[in-house]
Structure 1
Amino acid sequence: MSEKANLRNLVIDQLEKLSKEDYDARSYELAKKLFQTPEWQAANCVGVTLSRFPEVNTRFILAEANKMGKTVVIPETLYPSRTMQFREYEKGDLLIEKRFGLMEPAPTAKLVDAAQIDLLIIPGVAFTTEGYRIGFGGGFYDRYLATYGGHTVALLFREQSGHFFSNEKHDIPVQKLLVD
């Protein structure tokens, strides 16, 4: 097994030990940190995944964006190209369960160009202090970030932070890390 795969498994094992209460409380505190950033405050359009445990819970982010009138876009993964695009999402919109149990927008939702997205909340499993990340192994965000020009932020539990691993030339670091 590769260095990244070993680290991914180790961190996921640690996160899966979190209680539901601790997971929700820590996710909420991270969301509050996000709401204080200039990137969040200036953003009109925010890209975010619909999280699933043990990723930082994004429901608090979705609720606050809705309350503030921000446009929320969520990723739609495309196969076999292993690329993604973002579509508008409002609470109650039709979602489709895709690979790995991810909930994604229906293909009828409005497609949003990357240039319109002010801020992307980047998911991941493990991060270096420089913002390099190990994701879930699909490479979707690496491909998207190669041409994305807006702000990027990652919210991470302390178990996900400060890891050391070899990054590859196609890896693009997240600009800002918020750690609990």
Structure 2
Amino acid sequence: MSEKANLRNLVMDQLEKLSKEDYDARSYELAKQLFQTPEWQAASCVGVTLSRFPEVNTRFILAEAKKTGKTIAIPETIYPSHTMQFRVYEKGDQLIEKKFGLMEPAPTAQLVEAAQIDLLIVPGVAYTEEGHRIGFGGGFYDRYLAAYEGKTVALLFHEQSRHFFPNEKHDVPVQKLLVN
């Protein structure tokens, strides 16, 4: 097993031990940190996943985006190319369950070009202080970030922070990390 795979498993094991109360409280604190950033405040369109445990819970972000009139764009994965694109999401829109139980927009939802997304909230399993990340293993965000020119931020629990792990030449670091 690769060093990345070992680290991914180690961090996921730590996160899965979080209690529901701790998970929700820490996710909420991270969302509050996000709302104070100039990147969030300036964004009119935010790219964000519909999270699932043990990822940082994004429901607080979705609610605040709707309340403040921001457009929410969620990813749609495309196989077999392991690429993704974003589509507009409104609460109550039809969602389709894809691989690994991910909920994604229906292909009928409005497409959002990368240049329209002001702020992309990048999920991952582990991060270095420089913003390098280990994702969930599909390479979707690595491919997307290679051409994305907007602002990026990651929300992470302190268990996900690492001083170092090897990165690869195609890795694009996240610009800002918010940690709880």
- TM bracket (short chain): over 0.9
- Secondary structure at the counterpart of residue 129 of structure 2: coil
Unaligned runs of 5+ in 2: none
Deviation at 1:15, TM superposition (A): 0.2
Q: Which runs of 4+ in 1 moved over 2 A?
A: none
Give 1:31 shift. Answer: 0.1
Q: TM-score, structure 1 length as denominator? A: 0.99
CA drift of 1:144 comes to 0.2
What is the TM-score normalised by the length of structure 2? 0.99
Shift of 1:153: 0.2
Residues 1:150 and 2:150 aligned together: yes
Q: Distance in 2 between matches of 1:85 and 1:168?
A: 23
Q: Quick one: distance in 1 between partners of 2:152 and 2:141?
A: 11
Name 1:33's counterpart in structure 2.
33
Q: Where does 1:125-136 land on structure 2 (aligned, <5 Å)?
A: 125-136=125-136
Within the alignment, does 1:67 sit opposite 2:73 as a pair?
no
CA contact 1:126–1:163 (8 Å) conserved in 2 = no
Q: Following the alignment from structure 1 to structure 2, what is the Cα–Cα distance between the partners of residues 176 and 71?
A: 21
Cα deviation 1:117-144 (Å, max 9, x = unaligned): 0000000000011000000000000000
1:100-179 matches, within 5 Å, as: 100-179=100-179
Correspondence 1:80 to 2:91? no
CA RMSD of aligned residues (A): 0.4
Q: CA deviation at 1:163?
A: 4.0
User: Following TM superposition, by how much is the alpha carbon of 1:164 offset from its aligned partner in structure 2, in angstroms?
Assistant: 1.7
**Kept in 2: contact 1:34–1:40 (CA 8 A):** yes
How many corresponding residue pairs? 180
Identity %: 86
